[in-house]
Structures are given as C-alpha cells and as structure tokens.
Amino acid sequence: MSPGAATGVTEAELIKTRRAKLAALRAAGRDPYALTTFARSHTLVAVREAFDHLAAGEHAGGATVTVAGRLQSMRRMGKRSVFADLTDQSARLQVYFHTDRLGPEFEAVDLLDRGDVVGVRGEPFRTKSGELTVAADEVTVLAKSLRPLPEKWHGLVDPEIRYRRRYVDLMVNRPVLEAMLTRSAIIAALRRHLDELGYVEVETPILLALAGGANARPFVTHSHALDMPLQLRIATELNLKRCIVGGIEKVYEIGRTFRNEGVDRTHNPEFTMLELYEAYTDVEGMLRLCEGMVVAAAHAARVGERHEYGGRELVLRPPFARMSYLDALREFGGLTREDILDEARARAAAERLGLRLDVKASHPHVVDKLFEATVEPHLVNPTFITEHPVLLSPLAKRKAEDPDFVERFELYIAHMEVANAFSELNDPDDQRERFERQAKERAAGDPEAPEPDWDFVQALEYGMPPTGGIGVGIDRLVMILTNADSIRDVLLFPLQRPEA
C-alpha cells in the first residue's frame, strides 16, 4: 500500500493524499466513518489528574485508560514508534504508539495524519523527560481529517480565516476554545446566582411589530403569513416590565438583542444582554445586585480581585466607586449643571471641547458626547455613574428632590459601559409625556427617535409596582474577564460579509 503516491502539495493534492489513506483504512477494515460511538474511560484532564503521581520513567502498573481526541502533532522516531499530541475539550495529552505494544495494529498509525480524530486505549506512564503519556495498546480512527491543518507553531493567524472557519481556530488555537468555555461558565454562573436569589427566567419575543426600550435602529424583516413588517428586538425592557405589571415580581431574561448599527471593537449587530426587573426595590437594590453579579462572573472566570485588562490593573472588589453624573462632568470636564440642562450651553461646551457635532444633533446627543469625551476616558476601575439627566433617561423615575435627574446608574469598567440600571418609571402620565416628546422629535425628522409603544403606557395605567431594573452587556463583561480586545473574540461566529 502506498498512500504517498500522490506527492504533490497543492491543497487538492494534500487532500488526495489523505483520501488515499482513508481508502487504505477502509481496505484494512477500519472505515473511520462507520463507527457510531466510542466509550471513553477518561477525558484527557482526568488522565492528567488520576496519574499525576507517576514519577519520570514510571508506568501505571498495567492500569489502562481509553481516551479520544484530535491528533495535533506527530513525531516519528524510527520505523516502530511515534509520539503524538492528542487534544480534547479538556486538555492536551501525549500518546505513544509503538510496535512492541500495538503489534499489527501499528499499520493504522502509518495512515494517521495531523487532525485525525482517534481513540486510544493504553497504559499511562511518564517519560524520562517527565511528560505524562499514554502508551497505546489499541488505536481506532474515529474520523479521518481530509484537509491540512494550519502550521503547528504559528497556528492560524489570519483573522479573516479564523472567523470564517472558527472550527479550525477552535481546534488549533486553544485560548480561543478557553475563552468560549469561560463565556459559557460566566453565563451559567449568572443564571445560577439569579436563580438562587429567586429570580424567574422568561423568554420574550425577538420578532416584534414595534421594537422599543432603547434608542437604536432595528433590523427589519417581513412575515409572509401575516403579510406585515416585523422588527427584531433592540431591548427586552418593555416586555419584561409588562411581566412585572402582570405579577412576575423578580424576572430576568438572558438573550440576543439586535441593533442595526455600526460594527467595531465593542459592538456586534447581535449581542447578548441580561435584563432584570424586580418589584418593590429601586436603583439601590440593583446596585447591590450588580456588584454581586460582577463578582459571580469573575469567580466563574477564575479572575481574582486584581485583574489586568488592556494593560491596566483593575480592582474588581465591591463596593465599586460611585460618582454622580454631574460630579463626574465637573471633575473631569469642568462642566456645570447648566452646561448640561441648557441646550445652547451644552452646544457651546461641545464647541469649546472641539467636538465635531452634526448641526442636527439633538440635545440628548450633545450631552452624551460631552460625557463620552470628558468622563469615559477616566473610567478604568469599576465605577457607578449615578443620577443621569432625565433627558437621557426616558424610562427612568425622576429623583423626588430634583426632577431634572433620575434614579439611575451606569457601571463603567475599562472605559466600557457594562451595566445600566434605574428605578423604573411607573407613572403612566409621565411616561406618556416622555413618549410624546420623542414622537415629536421623530415627526420633526429625527429618524433616531424611537416610535412610542402606547400599549406600554396602557400597561403602566393598570399599575406597576415600584420596580428596579438593570441591563448587563454580557459580551463586554466576558471581554474584560477573558482579556479580549474585541467583542469578536468572545463571539463564536461574529458577523462577516460573505466570502468573495
């Protein structure tokens, strides 16, 4: 048998060579694709834990394990032995194929390639150089890999191929796999944390006649059955508060949200948000809950109180710093209350700071730009910015003693807004007036102003208890806890244009 007959090295010929080995395996009665199951005795990390005690040169005294995984590299030592690295989801482990143990089984080893999925039964031992290894007594090809893997040393680097063929990225760049597992652990921990505190998880619609609850352009689609336009949700806020009105007192949803807007380091058109609402509490209750969630997430990610991100050390230890919106603008921007509340003065301040603003920019937009330019660059350690102006907060309850401002906070970490919470506005008349103002802005030609959801006002008219609510940007939290520079590094399949 000479699988190496095709000696060329274009991709097509590399594949042909591997197909020849597949044919040889089949001819030997070892069709890898015919198998349906493989019973493992250990994951690779379990082997590492169970046989960690072996000294260099020591064997496991005849004990055997059965493991499976992908061959990551093969080192041939003469005609009769091969060392290979095997990886599974849990770890990497070396295996040793030798004719002394395998006998005629060794013929299969000659037909193996990097990338093949194999099962191995054998005896654990530690090599003279100290590496825990499984000496194979039996080898089973569980899937032949027909395509060449990226280079073993530099791995797969090209970001375009990494995102397009994430499965290859995952198999050869272990930190990518680790980040995705950490993401899963963080979300599971948050869910567990909230479930233990008695919150009820619900699922609200993604397809809506009218997407509301935030100021963002929605994706638009169409229902053939109903022959009507539909929008993908931009927030879960309004439906979750309908749940509060209906009597689900501690409610949350972890789910995908869609915004038809720019893509950059911290924005993907679809992203994951946790939104939570609780009756009979307020923004202070949300603040304590928020600290608990960040700690639970950090713990799940095995991140301690001191954590380096983006070249800066973060101290993730509650209580987090607090600073009011006005104090922050005063301290970092030298701006006053009037510079914010008065539209003309806000524009003048923006001009002083050299901000390029569209003449059509609305008052809220100008104020937001002022904050972004002056305050955000200073917010590295977790910081609650509190008591925002009502003009930026159409769904939050006013402060009793200062009705131009609301009971709200945003949590900033590493310059990013990670959470946003407030005492929910439950006065239907105030809500209606704020919606009417937005409707006027919309009618006046501001396409960004949201279309009011009048049914939500009706829901408030039935009576919503005093309620605290919070939204947490899960992707950004995961970015911080996994040291990811880009949101794409915490998403399995970030949005890409179709390949040329």
Partner RNA sequence: GCGUCGUUAGCUCAAUGGUAGAGCAGCGGACUCUUAAUCCGUUGGUUGUGGGUUCAAGUCCCUCACGACGCACCA
Window 303-362: residues binding RNA (CB under 7 A) = 356-358, 361
Please state the closest distance from residue 263 (CB atom) to RNA, in A. Answer: 7
Grouping H, G, I as helix, E, B as strand and the rest as coil, residue 328 is: helix
The window from 183-191, 278-286, 325-333, 490-498 that contacts RNA (CB under 7 A) reads: 490-498
Please state the closest distance from residue 355 (CB atom) to RNA, in A. Answer: 8
Please state the closest distance from residue 265 (CB atom) to RNA, in A. Answer: 5
Grouping H, G, I as helix, E, B as strand and the rest as coil, residue 184 is: helix
Peptide bond into 382 cis (omega under 30): no
Q: Site for RNA (CB under 7 A): which residue of 264, 429, 455, 461?
A: 264
Q: Site for RNA (CB under 7 A): which residue of 114, 193, 307, 408?
A: 114
394 binds RNA (CB under 7 A): yes
Q: C-alpha 447: how far from its chain's center?
A: 30
Q: 268 and 250 in contact (C-beta within 8 Å)? A: no
Q: Site for RNA (CB under 7 A): which residue of 67, 68, 214, 459?
A: 214
**C-beta of 11 vs 338, nearer to RNA:** 11
**C-beta of 359 vs 443, nearer to RNA:** 359
- The phi, psi pair for 66, rounded to 5°, reads -125, 120
The window from 289-297, 322-330, 401-409, 483-491 that contacts RNA (CB under 7 A) reads: 483-491
Residues 59-78 that bind RNA (CB under 7 A): 73-78
What is the rounded distance in angstroms from the CA atom of residue 19 to the CA atom of residue 8? 13
Q: 163 and 494 in contact (C-beta within 8 Å)? A: yes
Number of residues that bind RNA (CB under 7 A): 81
Quickly list DSSP for 412-462. Answer: EETTEEEEEEEEBP--HHHHHHHHHHHHHHHHTT-TTSPPP-HHHHHHHHT
Q: How far apart are the first and last CA of the chain?
A: 40
**C-beta of 189 vs 423, nearer to RNA:** 423
422 binds RNA (CB under 7 A): no
156 binds RNA (CB under 7 A): yes
What is the rounded distance in angstroms from the CA atom of residue 359 to the CA atom of residue 340? 17
Please state the closest distance from residue 494 (CB atom) to RNA, in A. Answer: 7
125 binds RNA (CB under 7 A): yes
269 binds RNA (CB under 7 A): no
Q: Site for RNA (CB under 7 A): which residue of 209, 263, 315, 444?
A: 263
7 binds RNA (CB under 7 A): yes
- The phi, psi pair for 30, rounded to 5°, reads -125, 45
**C-beta of 30 vs 365, nearer to RNA:** 365
Residues 172-191 that bind RNA (CB under 7 A): none
395 binds RNA (CB under 7 A): yes
- The phi, psi pair for 480, rounded to 5°, reads -65, -45
Tokens of 328: 């922050």
Please state the closest distance from residue 460 (CB atom) to RNA, in A. Answer: 16
Q: Where are the alpha helices (DSSP H) in 306-414?
A: 325-333, 337-341, 343-352, 363-374
**C-beta of 138 vs 448, nearer to RNA:** 448
Q: Site for RNA (CB under 7 A): which residue of 80, 288, 306, 312?
A: 80
Q: Site for RNA (CB under 7 A): which residue of 79, 222, 224, 302?
A: 79
53: left (phi over 0), alpha (psi -120 to 50) or beta: alpha
**C-beta of 7 vs 37, nearer to RNA:** 7
Tokens of 409: 């906070």
210 binds RNA (CB under 7 A): no
Please state the closest distance from residue 44 (CB atom) to RNA, in A. Answer: 14
**C-beta of 121 vs 259, nearer to RNA:** 259
**C-beta of 377 vs 403, nearer to RNA:** 377
* DSSP single-letter state for residue 407: S
Beta bridge partner(s), residue 124:
134
Burial class (CB in 10 A: 0-12, 13-18, 19+), 262: exposed
14 binds RNA (CB under 7 A): yes
Please state the closest distance from residue 261 (CB atom) to RNA, in A. Answer: 4
Q: 74 and 114 in contact (C-beta within 8 Å)? A: yes
Grouping H, G, I as helix, E, B as strand and the rest as coil, residue 253 is: strand
